[in-house]
Structure 1
Amino acid sequence: MSTEYADLTETVTAHLRARGLAAPETGLTVRTLTGGVSNDVVAVTGDGVDAVVKRALSRLRVRQEWEADVSRLTTEGRALRLAATIAPESVPPVLDLSAGFLVMGRAPDHWHTWKADLMAGVIDVHVAARLGEFLAQLQRRTAGRVERLRGEFGSRTAFEQLRVDPFHRQIRGRYPDLAPQIDRTIAVMAETTACLVHGDYSPKNVLVGDSAAELWVIDWEVTHLGDPAFDPAWIIGHLLLKSIHRPDYSDRYRAAAATFLDAWNCTDPESMAQLIRQTGCLVLARVDGRSPVDYLDQPGQVAARSLGRRLLGAPPHSLPDAWRLLV
């Protein structure tokens, strides 16, 4: 697996100057950030410049062959601009989107990912509430604009390449006995264009500061019109996985999940059934999909497989009840 990050110093410096975002005489410091498996990302600072610049990769940094359409960067920029019309305090501002680069405002230095807090056992239910409220607002405000948004967010190419194929379809091959439930999950996704879907609404893509008021949701590259159960499954699934990793904090992770779901405030039975299926798929995929989590030991992987199977094969009445399956 290649973990090399490109040196974008000269390229990014030239791009920012050409776009008028940095004066020709301004000295810039370019620092590589972790762009995950799918992007090159750098922080750029200098006189009057404080930005993050992102470039999408056509081949992802994973052990297995995994290619993806780089036009997802344009989708991300458009999605961030749309989200900013709904809740500008919850996303980084887009400064420029051109020539294969997305330039955004940079979060303050003391901000960090919510994942880092959760892994350390620092579980702020107020952050969970903010995420549930923001998701509800995003879904509600875009549900009535589906036809107008179809031109920009109707494509699911990146979503299929980066989510459905490496997650749902990969585990379908691994768990043929669960194929009917996984197929049902995929079919509902394929049939549904209810609202805007972030597509990676997970703790690693939430930046937080010293309070829940300081929060950004980042990484919108697989945004599309689709299944409203997909995004909440990413939050709940990761809280379940972290409960397996840190069982001493399981009650706190469950409280965060319940708070998130209360704020999201979905009461549709079909959506809730799909949410449980989506969560089961996610739990299995983060063990046996193309991009497994790196923090579960072998007993943890066994526990996650058991949980995912039960979520799909014998689902609980509600997702908070899934924590009883961990005992």
Structure 2
Amino acid sequence: MKISSLPEPIYKAACQFGLLELRTKFFYKKITDGVSSDIYYIKTENNKEFCIKRALRKLAVKEDWFAPINRSNFEAEYFKECKKIIPSSFPKLLGHDSKKYILALEWFKPEQYSLWKKKLLNNKINVNDATQVSKILNKKHAFFFNKKNYEKKFSNDKTFHDIRIEPYILFTSQSYPEYKNKFLQAADNLMLNKKTLIHGDFSPKNILTGRNSAVILDAETACWGDPAFDLAFCNNHIILKSFLNPKIKNKYINLSKQFITNYIDNLNWEEKDLFTKRFFQLLPLLILARVDGKSPVEYFTEKEKVITRSFALEILNKNQCNINNFISTWDKYVKK
């Protein structure tokens, strides 16, 4: 196995964490998924495997998009706290440099875990995945709900604003001036309904599915926030993929329905009607954001963008949206 040269800060951090030694031979590979961090997979000559990541000040997208670099410190705390609740569903923190914003994490073998995003794109739709993931999300939200000591620890509003509210809500509103008030109201609601610890980037690209458990990754946007955001953010990704694969739209619809209903059926820390209202007010805005925001999905043609916009705007125009009329509208727009 050849000796490879990592960027010096990454290499020094790995040595500081006791994961590498000066004479250790190792192989590394840069992981290119994602836009917010430099991430490396490392395997030593002794078959020790781990990943190590460093947050970027400027995110790797076309638009100018900056975020506080200390967000990796919140990510480290998120994994430490969440692993206490559901040990099998969060990676073990192997090292953390809070001044250089570098952390090392447990590596999950691809032969044992699959990235949920890839499964969804490759038509491998399994409702058990949705059940598993929604249970993790619900249990985590319930555990931290209204615990003020965690609210202070995860006061990460600046990152959430810069990575979520500004690029997804405020930036996208510029393309829809007639709906600007709805975008602004959604942004306000996210700040007014901070109730528990949220992930902030809870999406299939950050979720591994295994035989016995799902694993949640990449928590740089972790903060004290509105739990409706996590549920809407993740289901948005499922919805978008149905427009890419319309022949199996019913599988995506059933998957999302299972995810949403399983979560809400087990919601016991606030009124379900109020939560559901916030969820459906937010969801169409997030759909539009992945077409016209700072981080558009990479797999849509212009035709798919047009259809997706029309669907989101119809949902946005409904006086009251619920799971049934949402799904019937979704079904109407996804053409087989």
TM tier, smaller = over 0.9
Q: Confirm or deny that 1:235 pairs with 2:237.
A: no
In structure 1, the residue matched to 2:152 is 151
Specify the alignment match of 2:310 in structure 1: 306
Q: For residue 175 of structure 1, what is the aligned residue in structure 2?
A: 176
Alpha-carbon distance in structure 2 between the residues aligned to 1:248 and 1:318? 25
Q: 1:292 aligned to 280, 293, 296, which one?
A: 296
Partner of 2:138: 136
Counterpart of 2:239, as a letter, is L
Please tell me the root mean square deviation across aligned C-alpha atoms, in Å.
1.6
Deviation, structure 1 residue 18: 2.6
Is the CA contact 1:240–1:323 (under 8 Å) kept in the aligned structure 2? no
Equivalent-residue separation in structure 1 for 2:65 and 2:79 (angstroms): 25
The 3 A distance-change label for structure 1 pair 172 and 88 is same
Q: How many residues align?
A: 318
Structure 1 match to 2:286: 282
Greater Cα offset, 262-271 or 114-123: 262-271
Partner of residue 122 from structure 1, selected from 116, 121, 124: 124
Letter in 2 for 1:53: I
1:75 aligned residue? 74
Name the amino acid aligned to 2:95: D
Decide which of 13, 16, 19 is 2:17's aligned counterpart.
Answer: 19
SS in 1 for 2:227: coil
* SS of the residue 1:220 aligns to: coil
Mapped to 2, the partners of 1:325 and 1:300 lie a distance apart of 16
Aligned to 2:224: 225
Measured in 2, the distance between the counterparts of 1:34 and 1:207 equals: 16
Unmatched 5+ stretches in structure 1: 1-6
Q: Give 2:296's aligned amino acid.
A: P
Unaligned stretches of 5+ in structure 2? none
Within the alignment, does 1:108 sit opposite 2:112 as a pair? no
Q: Distance in 2 between matches of 1:192 and 1:256?
A: 27
TM-score in terms of structure 2 length: 0.90
User: What is the alpha-carbon distance in structure 1 between the residues aligned to residue 159 and residue 20 of structure 2?
Assistant: 31
Residue identity opposite 1:319 in structure 2: I
Residue number among 21, 26, 29 corresponding to 1:28 in the alignment: 26
Alignment-mate amino acid for residue 269 of structure 1: D
Separation in 1, partners of 2:10, 2:234: 33
SS at match of 1:199: coil
Contact 1:235 1:257 in 2 (8 A): no
Q: Please tell me whether the aligned partners of residues 71 and 156 of structure 2 are also in contact (alpha carbons under 8 angstroms).
A: no
* Of 134-143 and 179-188, the range deviating more from structure 2: 179-188
Q: 1:9 deviation in Å?
A: 4.6
Distance 1:277 1:8 in 2: 45
SS of equivalent to 1:174: coil
Q: Does 1:256 align with 2:275?
A: no
| Cα distance in structure 2, aligned partners of 1:10 and 1:187 | 42
Partner of 1:49: 48
The question of whether the paired residues in 2 share the 8 Å contact of 1:201 and 1:235 is answered with yes
* 1:93 counterpart letter in structure 2: K
CA contact (8 A) 1:237 1:283 kept: yes
Q: Take 2:214 and 2:24, find their aligned partners in 1: how far apart are those partners?
A: 30
Displaced runs of 4+ in structure 1, greater than 6 A? none
Secondary structure of 1:291 counterpart: coil
State the 1:133 CA deviation: 0.4
How much has 1:315 moved relative to structure 2? 5.6
Give the drift of 1:35.
Answer: 4.4
Letter in 1 for 2:36: S
% identity of equivalent residues:
25
| 1:85 pairs with 2:84 | yes
